[in-house]
Chain A
């Protein structure tokens, strides 16, 4: 295997892993605060279509990515009001958000089907990407570096920052956190909005970096894989990074096998591989953790302040 091909494959892995990493880190923070938002897929789709629409109409993909974050955070705000203020069932509301995002993105995206957009491509000057090895370091979309930085930032926030420790306290024991005087609902609102913004950014990666176009259901269930990765990561940012890149590898295998004309296995089997891998990974992680779980203690439970 030539160096060029190897570098190309490694870069594809990073590309496939990045949206899973960004959306997964967002959901990880949300769940650490004690809220389960199953609407990641819907928020990613809203982000993908908003990013695409703004990038094509302004010609500025960066603006598209920012708008994607804003739009998905807005969708997350609907979820937050329902589950935090109105104490609606989190599972049902998350599903509703995904169904909503799928519909709204198809509606907004209808006029954009079949056109291409300026992409959020490599940012470093050409001379830094002239050789394969340099390209491996400097040749990525800015979002790839952002994903790595975000991993570090979320780790630091949850383990070293005061605000992060408060967020974890809220997720582990909302009533105790409330008794001490921490604003449980405010913390959860902020966490959910952050999770939404990250899902939106991850969604825009699909429409602005991976494929510079829009199609209905563009994210194809990747939001659900991101949620599964949070479980796989045992709610730890470092393991989230490992899990996302592992899945990047699985998805790249599919692409490479197709490109190489590999026909020992039906293409449908390859297309189903990421989903089968997700189930397998969940089974392994659950078997390894038999009897206990690393989930935040208050995950998915509504909080109502005692009068």
Chain B
């Protein structure tokens, strides 16, 4: 129960403090909350939009969470997402004149491989030279954006596109089919749910999942248990990069239907918040992705209805992460007043239960 408490409190505090903050900034604070977090939920069209935006967020966040569990801090998902999109687009452009049901799966596979290849750079640097993956993976985001710009303005520009820096439109065999005809809901939405279920099974039932959890919780025990530090880094970055790349090609072959310079939308960064809000648990992440998707969808409609600046969305998202991190302490530690607990006895246990562990500690010391 306490595991769920922190995210719920964090979202509630964000709504409350957000309303006050935006009122102080001269906006309609409570109107903004209503418009962003409540109104879209009562609009069936917005629900489609919610699912479509939540899908890439969830897929990226699930990959990141696997790494975060093992204390591998891949913050290069944005770049891995771009490279996934680019790799899949490469296949699309090469097969533009062809037809067949094999094209789309091939694009998806290359999307995954593209994200993995980009994540392999920090993995290789970390495991061979000991380069901190936080900085290397982040720097590669900026490089990926320039690579995208280069391809759009140069080799991949649509020759019939009136000199606009974008690729040709993908063909019908290169775009994601809609799962519900007449809506926006494309194949990426059920795929996101499938990824979550698979990741949940892997984390709960396989040795690899166990390895990622043990390395994060008890690094020394993991080393004694034979889990190599290098393999952990590789698994974490391949999972993160592969899924970010997957999300990238799903977006390119789905909502975008071509590659454009506006392709990077910050999902790679927002997914970090999704991963934490979902408690690094694949199923929790599905829920958290819906909450963060709500800030995008609601934020967009609040721009038109009450003139809230676009940047408000980012502020709400960051506040959510701040409040989550702040309330986490209530989950990890129970507040004990003054001298209520004798020294050495963990809070929340009766003295009888705690006695053996107290003795153990004394022996160890």
- A-side residues, CB < 8 A to B, are 38, 78, 81-82, 86-89, 91-93, 95-96, 99-100, 102-104, 106-107, 110, 216, 220-221, 224-225, 227-228, 231, 266, 268-269, 271-272, 275-276, 278-279, 282-283, 286-287, 289-290, 293, 307
What residue in chain B is nearest A106 (Cβ atoms)? B311
- Quote the shortest CB–CB distance from B96 to chain A (angstroms): 24
| Given A87-B329, A224-B139, A279-B125 contact (CB < 8 Å) | yes
Using a CB-CB cutoff of 8 Å, which residues 304-321 of chain B contact chain A? Answer: 309-319, 321
B75 interface neighbour in A95, A272, A286, Cβ under 8 Å: A95
- Quote the shortest CB–CB distance from A110 to chain B (angstroms): 5
- Quote the shortest CB–CB distance from B11 to chain A (angstroms): 15
What is the bound-complex CA distance between A275 and B138, given in angstroms?
9
A96 interface neighbour in B147, B150, B154, B322, Cβ under 8 Å: B322
- Quote the shortest CB–CB distance from B283 to chain A (angstroms): 20
B73 interface neighbour in A91, A104, A275, Cβ under 8 Å: A91
- Quote the shortest CB–CB distance from A219 to chain B (angstroms): 12
A271 & B146 in contact (Cβ 8 Å cutoff): yes
B147 interface neighbour in A91, A100, A272, Cβ under 8 Å: A272
| Given A89-B325, A107-B311, A107-B315, A266-B138 contact (CB < 8 Å) | no
What is the bound-complex CA distance between A194 and B123, given in angstroms?
33
CB contacts (< 8 Å) of A110 on chain B: these are 309, 311
B138 & A96 in contact (Cβ 8 Å cutoff): no
Listed by A's residue number, 11 A-B pairs whose Cβ atoms lie within 8 Å are A81-B326, A92-B325, A106-B309, A106-B311, A231-B132, A266-B154, A269-B146, A272-B143, A272-B146, A286-B132, A287-B129
CB contacts (< 8 Å) of A89 on chain B: these are 325
| Given A96-B321, A282-B136, A307-B343, A272-B142 contact (CB < 8 Å) | yes
CB contacts (< 8 Å) of A279 on chain B: these are 121, 125, 131, 135-136, 139-140
What is the bound-complex CA distance between A109 and B276, given in angstroms?
28
| Given A227-B135, A228-B135, A99-B325 contact (CB < 8 Å) | no
What residue in chain B is nearest A272 (Cβ atoms)? B146
| Given A99-B273, A103-B318, A283-B131, A93-B139 contact (CB < 8 Å) | no
CB contacts (< 8 Å) of A293 on chain B: these are 130
Any A CB within 8 A of the CB of B272: yes
- Quote the shortest CB–CB distance from B211 to chain A (angstroms): 20
What is the bound-complex CA distance between A289 and B132, given in angstroms?
13
CB contacts (< 8 Å) of A275 on chain B: these are 139-140, 142-143
Any A CB within 8 A of the CB of B328: yes
What residue in chain B is nearest A307 (Cβ atoms)? B343
B142 & A221 in contact (Cβ 8 Å cutoff): yes
B328 & A282 in contact (Cβ 8 Å cutoff): no
**Which secondary structure dominates chain A's binding surface?**
helix
What residue in chain B is nearest A89 (Cβ atoms)? B325
- Quote the shortest CB–CB distance from B308 to chain A (angstroms): 10
Kindly list 13 other residue pairs between chains A and B, CB separation below 8 angstroms, not including A107-B25, A290-B130: A82-B322, A99-B269, A100-B315, A106-B311, A216-B311, A268-B153, A269-B150, A272-B147, A275-B139, A275-B143, A276-B139, A279-B135, A282-B131
A278 & B131 in contact (Cβ 8 Å cutoff): no
- Quote the shortest CB–CB distance from A252 to chain B (angstroms): 18
What is the bound-complex CA distance between A293 and B131, given in angstroms?
11
A93 & B273 in contact (Cβ 8 Å cutoff): no
CB contacts (< 8 Å) of B311 on chain A: these are 103-104, 106-107, 110, 216
CB contacts (< 8 Å) of A286 on chain B: these are 125, 129-132
What is the bound-complex CA distance between A78 and B322, given in angstroms?
9
A82 & B315 in contact (Cβ 8 Å cutoff): no
- Quote the shortest CB–CB distance from A305 to chain B (angstroms): 13
Any A CB within 8 A of the CB of B134: yes
CB contacts (< 8 Å) of B146 on chain A: these are 268-269, 271-272
What residue in chain B is nearest A266 (Cβ atoms)? B150
A103 & B130 in contact (Cβ 8 Å cutoff): no
A268 & B147 in contact (Cβ 8 Å cutoff): yes
Any A CB within 8 A of the CB of B200: no
Using a CB-CB cutoff of 8 Å, which residues 106-154 of chain B contact chain A? Answer: 121, 125, 129-132, 134-136, 138-143, 146-147, 149-150, 153-154
CB contacts (< 8 Å) of A272 on chain B: these are 142-143, 146-147
What is the bound-complex CA distance between A289 and B131, given in angstroms?
10
Q: Which 3 A-B pairs have the closest CB atoms?
A: A103-B314, A106-B311, A100-B318
B325 & A86 in contact (Cβ 8 Å cutoff): yes
What is the bound-complex CA distance between A93 and B322, given in angstroms?
7
What residue in chain B is nearest A271 (Cβ atoms)? B146
What is the bound-complex CA distance between A38 and B131, given in angstroms?
16
What is the bound-complex CA distance between A262 and B87, given in angstroms?
29
- Quote the shortest CB–CB distance from A66 to chain B (angstroms): 22
- Quote the shortest CB–CB distance from B284 to chain A (angstroms): 16
What residue in chain A is nearest B148 (Cβ atoms)? A268
B314 & A106 in contact (Cβ 8 Å cutoff): yes
CB contacts (< 8 Å) of B318 on chain A: these are 96, 99-100, 102-104
What residue in chain B is nearest A96 (Cβ atoms)? B321
CB contacts (< 8 Å) of A81 on chain B: these are 326
A82 interface neighbour in B73, B272, B273, B325, Cβ under 8 Å: B325
| Given A96-B322, A99-B273, A283-B131, A107-B138 contact (CB < 8 Å) | no
A86 & B329 in contact (Cβ 8 Å cutoff): yes
What is the bound-complex CA distance between A220 and B143, given in angstroms?
12
CB contacts (< 8 Å) of B272 on chain A: these are 92, 95, 99
A103 & B129 in contact (Cβ 8 Å cutoff): no
What is the bound-complex CA distance between A266 and B154, given in angstroms?
9
0/1 interface trace, chain B 253-288, chain A, CB 8 Å (1 if under): 000000000000000010011001000000000000
CB contacts (< 8 Å) of A82 on chain B: these are 322, 325-326
CB contacts (< 8 Å) of B131 on chain A: these are 279, 282-283, 286
What residue in chain A is nearest B313 (Cβ atoms)? A103
